[in-house]
Chain A
Amino acid sequence: MAVINLQRQSKQARAAKFDQTQASERPTAWRLLWRLATLLGGVFAFEHAQATDVPEDSAEAMYHYYDGGGVIASGPALLVRKKVNDTLSLSAGYYVDSVSNASIDVVTTASKFKEVRQEYSFGTDYVYRDSKLSFSAATSREPDYTANSFGLDIAQETFGGMTTVNVGFTRGEDKVLKHKDPTFSDYAQHWMYRFGVAQILTPHWIMSVNGEIVADDGYLSSPYRVARVFGAAVPENDPRTRSSRAVDFKVIGDLGSRDAVHAEYRYFWDNWAIKANTMEFGYSRYFGENWLADTSVRYYRQTKALFYSDNAQSDTLYISRNRQLSQFHDADLGGRVTYSLGKVSGDFDVKLNASVHYTKFNFDDFTDIRTGKLYTYGASSVQLYASATF
Chain B
Amino acid sequence: MTKRCAVLASLLCVLCLQGCTITPWVKPYERESLADPIMQFSRDPLSSKHFEHVHDVREAARGATGVEGGGCGCN
- Chain A residues within CB distance 8 Å of chain B: 49-53, 60, 62, 64, 66, 77-79, 93, 95, 97, 132, 153, 155, 157, 159-164, 166, 192, 194, 196-200, 202-204, 206, 208, 210-214, 244-248, 250, 252, 254, 259-260, 266, 268, 270, 272, 274, 276, 278, 284, 286, 292, 294, 300, 302, 305, 324-325, 330, 336, 353, 355, 357, 361, 381, 383, 385, 387
Contacts and interface: CB of A to CB of B under 8 A. Distances in A.
B58 interface: yes
A155 B69 contact: yes
A208 B23 contact: no
Contacts of B40: 252
A330 B59 contact: yes
* Residue with the greatest number of chain B CB neighbours at <10 A, chosen from A132, A206, A294: A206
Interface of B is mostly: loop
Given A254-B36, A324-B58, A324-B59, A198 B64 contact: no
B54 A381 contact: yes
Nearest to A154: B68
10 contacts: A51-B75, A60-B45, A62-B50, A64-B50, A95-B49, A200-B69, A203-B33, A246-B63, A248-B64, A292-B38
A247 B59 contact: no
A305 B60 contact: yes
Contacts of B25: 162
A200 B35 CA distance: 12
Interface of A is mostly: strand
Contacts of B34: 200, 203-204, 206, 254
Contacts of B32: 203
Nearest to B70: A206
A203 B26 contact: yes
Given A194-B64, A324-B58, A206 B39 contact: yes
B57 A324 contact: yes
A77 B50 contact: yes
Interface residues of B, number: 45
Contacts of A381: 50-51, 54
A353 to B, nearest CB: 7
Given A79-B45, A79-B46, A208-B41, A50 B75 contact: yes
* Residue with the greatest number of chain B CB neighbours at <10 A, chosen from A49, A204, A247, A294: A204
Contact of B68 (A166, A202, A247): A166
B59 A385 contact: no
B41 A252 contact: yes
B30 to A, nearest CB: 4
Contact of B67 (A163, A250, A330, A336): A250
A60 B46 contact: yes
B70 to A, nearest CB: 5
A236 to B, nearest CB: 15
Contacts of B58: 324, 330, 361
B63 A192 contact: yes
A106 to B, nearest CB: 14
B36 to A, nearest CB: 7
Contacts of B3: none
